[in-house]
Amino acid sequence: MWMVLFILFLGGIVLIFVEVFLTPGFGVAGISGVILLASSIVWAFMKADSTIAGYFTLIALSVFLIILAGVVKFWPKSKGWKKLILNTAETKSSGFSSSSPDMEKWLGKTGSTISILRPSGVAEIEGVKLDVVTKGEFIPPHSQIKVIKVEGNRIVVERVE
């Protein structure tokens, strides 16, 4: 009886290793391995000596901890990890910028709202339609506005009375 349990248990461990190291993903091998492993432990508790079941449980826990330690140690250095993580930085020296340099030209300019600003909407300044925001207040359409701040690509306006 214990030999059958041991074969089920060992088969479960082998299938889990196959799933983790040979065919990564959550597929048939991993599910089958977990089922074999769990059923061997449950069967050992039900039919066999509880000492054997205790050994199987200790071995399963040990194997789990070894796999967990291996994943924690080696996964950050693996090709799979590098596929998940963006390793390049978007820096100014690489040409990345959060704002257009020409957005600053709108600072201090006046125009009128095309849509209601609640608090964002569309305004026309010097014949150009722009997405603008207010500091929180609602401004109705066709109201006079002035650009008070440019933060990146965000143009902040206020109503001119």
Q: What pLDDT, in 10s, does the model give residues 70-94?
A: 778 877 887 777 777 777 777 777 7
pLDDT tens by residue, 89-100: 777 777 666 656
Q: Residue 83: in which H helix or E strand, if any?
A: helix 79-84
Per domain, the residue ranges of the chain are 2-84, 100-159
For tokens 């963006």, the residue is 86
**Residue 54 has which token pair?**
């205790």
Whole-prediction pTM value? Answer: 0.42
CATH fold, domain 100-159, is: OB fold (Dihydrolipoamide Acetyltransferase, E2P) (2.40.50)
* CA distance linking residue 18 with residue 14, whole number of Å: 6
